[in-house]
Chains A and B, each alone.
Chain A
């Protein structure tokens, strides 16, 4: 099974600050990569995904992520956060020929107004 590491457990920042959340995985083969967000009291929603092509992926709500194969990383970024970005963020990875997802431990992001 994949091992997925998210470096930050809890990030606190002010509105308009930039956000970067780290994600590393262990599998050396071809992978599909995902970032999900879970707003308080809501279900997981897909922010963005990478399957192939341009390693810089743009998602919803102004988020983007960059796949760096040599570093086994898929870091999530947002240039300027809003209070509404307060949520739990999960990185997930699956091997290309499998359907099962492996999740990171999640990062709680708190944005102060």
Chain B
């Protein structure tokens, strides 16, 4: 149980385009999901908390207009990187909360050319 999927697993896009990443909890409902960014050899940095039916809460320094989050259902949260630039290239990981635990997706490798 407690499986979280992400799609796509990797994406390459041109600078200036937008990319949508999906995070799904497959066997449980999650009112709260989280989006992280992980740089090579570094830790996971929390970007935002995604709340079902309400606005996401962004961490300090994260541009909410650039990283759009939508949590339209209890099993799906999406992260859209708008007008992507090479510096947005990273590994994006989502998690879904069940109680006081988080279950993590496999991540999405974004490369912006």
Contacts and interface: CB of A to CB of B under 8 A. Distances in A.
B32 A99 contact: yes
A42 B93 CA distance: 11
A106 B42 contact: yes
- Assign chain B's interface to a size class: 20 to 34
B100 A90 contact: no
B32 A105 contact: no
B2 to A, nearest CB: 9
B102 interface: yes
Interface string A86-101: 0000100010000111
Interface residues of A, number: 21
A104 B95 CA distance: 17
B34 interface: yes
Contact of A100 (B4, B34, B103): B34
B54 interface: no
Given A43-B105, A44-B93, A100-B49, A51 B100 contact: yes
Interface of A: 9, 32, 36, 42-46, 49, 51, 90, 94, 99-106, 108
* Ranked 4 nearest A-B pairs via Cβ: A44-B104, A43-B106, A103-B43, A105-B43
